[in-house]
A and B are shown apart, each in its own frame.
Chain A
Amino acid sequence: MHRLTIAEVAGALRRREFSSEELTRALLARIRELDPELNAVITATEEEAMAQAAEADRRLASGEGGPLTGVPILHKDIFCTRGVRTSCGSRMLDNFIAPYDATVVEKLAAAGAVMLGKTNMDEFAMGSSNETSFYGPVKNPWDTDRVPGGSSGGSAAAVAARLAPAATGTDTGGSIRQPAALTGITGLKPTYGRVSRWGMIAFASSLDQGGPMTRTAEDAAIMLGAMAGFDPRDSTSIDRPVPDYTAALDQPLDGLRIGLPREYFGDGLDNDVAACIEGALEVYKRMGARVSEISLPNTHLAVPAYYVVAPAECSSNLSRYDGVRFGYRCQDPRDLEDLYKRSRGEGFGAEVKRRIMIGTYALSAGYYDAYYLKAQKIRRLIRDDFMRAFEEVDVIMGPTSPTVAFRLGEKTDDPVSMYLSDIYTIAVNLAGLPGMSIPAGFAHGLPVGLQIIGNLFDEARLLNVAHKFQQETDWHQQVPGGFE
C-alpha cells in the first residue's frame, strides 16, 4: 500500500481494496518503524489521523468525496495546525501549539486528506540541507550519510522513503525544488500568490510560496488543485480561478519550445548531473519538443540579491518573536531588553541569527539604498530576463541543483557555499514564477532533478510537461534501498 501514488490510492479506496483507516494505520506504523533512521517527522499525529481516516471512510462509503478523500499526507511543520505543535524547526516554537489551521491545511482537510503528522525542516525554512533544524538533521533515504536538501527536507525524505504518498512544502529560494531533486521526487513551487500564505509561518513574505511534494506530476496536479485559490486572509493572494490541473496532463508536447539558459550549464555544474539533463532533453526531443539556447544574463546576480531581500524580510518578520505573546521565553529576565535579547538569542539557532543580522544591517540607517534598494533593482533585471525569454520559449529547463546530495556537515561551516547550492532555483522566486523539479536520472548513484520553469500562472503546462516525461521514463518510480 505504501508504494501507491495519490491517484492509485484514490482508485483503490473507491474500489474498497482497502480502507483509509487500514492505509493510515499502515503508514503510521511505517513512520514509527523507519523514521528513526531518517528523522523526517517531528510530530506524528496518530489519533487525529485515525479520526480523519474514519471520517473519510464514512464519506467514501456514502459515495462522497474527491480524489484526496482518505489519502494520507504529511505537512511541513511551517504550516499552522490547530491543537498540534507547529515548531517551524525552531526551539523558539518548540512549545507552540497553533491556535488555528493554515489555509492550506484547512483546504486539504476539507478535500478529505488525512494528516499523518508534521515534517522536519530547516529552522524557519532557512537552509538548504535540513541541518539547521532544532530537531536535528534529516537523512537522505538514498544515502543516510547525506543531506536530503532543504528547507523542506523532511517532506522530501518522507515522500522518497514511501512514508507518505505526498507532503506539503514551502519554497522561498528553492526549498521545494532542491530537496525534491536531491531525494528523487516531484516538487512544484507555484506562482507567487497562487497558494495562500495564511497560517504559513513567514520567512520572506515577497518570496514564500507553498506547494506540493509528491512522487508524480499527476499527484502534484491533484494536490495543487486542492491547495490553490484566492484567500482574502493573505494580502498577496491572487484572485484568479483555479483550473483543473489534471485536465491537460496528457496533451502532446509536439512543438513545445524549450529554452536552455546557457548560464545554467557553466562552471560549478557537476558533469554527471549535466549528462542526466542532456539525457532528459533527448526524451523531450523525441516527443517533438524543440530545444534552443537562451540567455538569462543576470543569473549570477540572483544569489547576491536574494541574500539582501530574504534576510531583510526575515529580520522584519521574525521581530514578532519577543518572548511576550507566544513561543520561547528566557528564564528570569532582568528587564524588558534582557527578556527580548535572551529569548531571541536562546530561541534562535545560528543560521537564523545570521540572517536576522544581515537583514538588520541591510535595513539600518545609511545602508538601505546600497543594499535593499539595489537588490530590488537587480530583482527587476532578473524578472525582465525571464519575461524576455518567455517571448521566445514556452518553458525553461535546466538542472535543479548543481550537484547531487552532499554529505552531512560538508557545508555547515561555510554559509556562502551552502547558499550557492540554490544557484539555479533562487531567481525563480525573485521573479515570482512557477517552477518544478522532477527526477531525471542518477549521478554518482544519487538522484538528479530536472528543473522546469514556466511563465506566471502556467502551472498546468509545467505539470503537463512533467507528466509526459514521466510517461516515457521510470526515474520517478525508483525506490531507495531499504525503503521498498
Chain B
Amino acid sequence: MSLDRQDVERIAHLARLAIDEADVPGYARNLSDILALVEQMNAVDTSAVEPLAHPMEASQRLRPDEVTETDQRELFQGIAPAVENGLYLVPKVIE
C-alpha cells in the first residue's frame, strides 16, 4: 500500500497531529516503506490461525470494586498547563 499526500493528511487528522506541509512528502515515503515491510505478512496464509493478544493468553485480571485511591487533585493539577478552581482549562468548546 503506497500512501499519497491526501492519505498522510487524513491519517494525521485522525491522530490529531499537526504536520508541516513541507514534511508531508517525507512522511508519505517513510510510511509507504513501513507498510511495504509490514505487508510481507501477506505471504502467509493465516486463515486457520487464531489471533494472539497476550503471549500467555492471560485475560484481564479483575479486582474487587473498592476505593483504593485517595484524592490527589492538587498534586496532579500542579503539573497541568492551565487550571482554575480545580478545573482543567481548554479553549471554549460551546458557544
Contact = CB atoms under 8 A, between A and B. Distances in A.
Interface of A: 95-97, 99, 192-193, 206, 232, 235-236, 238, 298, 300-301, 303-305, 307-308, 315, 319, 322-329, 333-342, 344-346, 348, 350, 353-354, 356-358, 360-362, 364, 371, 373-381, 383, 414-416, 419, 430-433, 456
Interface of B: 3, 7-8, 11-12, 14-20, 23, 27, 30-31, 33-42, 44, 46, 49-56, 58, 60-61, 63, 72, 75-76, 78-82, 88, 90-93
B16 A419 contact: no
A206 B54 contact: yes
Contacts of B82: 329
A30 B75 CA distance: 34
18 contacts: A206-B55, A335-B93, A342-B18, A348-B17, A353-B12, A357-B27, A358-B31, A358-B34, A358-B35, A374-B42, A376-B52, A380-B50, A381-B44, A415-B33, A416-B33, A419-B37, A430-B55, A432-B55
A451 B50 CA distance: 29
Nearest to B78: A99
A354 B27 contact: yes
Nearest to A239: B61
Contacts of A300: 40
Contacts of B16: 319, 322, 337, 340-341, 344
A99 B88 contact: no
A301 B46 CA distance: 12
A45 B68 CA distance: 31
Contacts of A433: 55
Contacts of B88: 324-325
B41 A374 contact: yes
B52 A380 contact: yes
B51 A416 contact: no
A97 B27 CA distance: 32
Given A415-B30, A430-B55, 8 more contacts: A301-B40, A305-B41, A324-B80, A339-B90, A361-B3, A377-B51, A380-B52, A381-B44
Contact of B18 (A97, A303, A345, A358): A345
Contacts of A95: 79
A371 B20 CA distance: 27
Nearest to A358: B34
Contacts of A356: 15, 17
B75 A99 contact: yes
Contacts of B12: 353, 357
Nearest to A417: B33
A379 B51 contact: yes
Q: Nearest 5 CB-CB pairs, A to B?
A: A432-B55, A345-B18, A376-B51, A329-B81, A380-B52
A132 B34 CA distance: 17
Given A235-B60, A342-B18, A354-B30, A326 B55 contact: no
Given A345-B18, A364-B11, A357 B40 contact: no
Contacts of B33: 414-416
B51 A308 contact: no
A360 B11 contact: yes
B78 to A, nearest CB: 7
Nearest to B82: A329
A378 B41 contact: yes
Contacts of B17: 341, 344-345, 348, 353, 356-357
A416 B34 contact: yes
A202 to B, nearest CB: 15
B56 to A, nearest CB: 6
Given A326-B79, A378-B46, A416-B33, A345 B38 contact: no
Contacts of B49: 377-378, 380-381
B63 A379 contact: no
A328 B82 CA distance: 11
B37 A360 contact: no
A113 B11 CA distance: 45
Nearest to A315: B15
A192 B79 contact: no
Contacts of A315: 15
Most central of A95, A301, A328, A360 by chain B CB within 10 Å: A360
A95 B80 CA distance: 10
Nearest to B8: A357
Contacts of B15: 315, 344, 356-357, 360
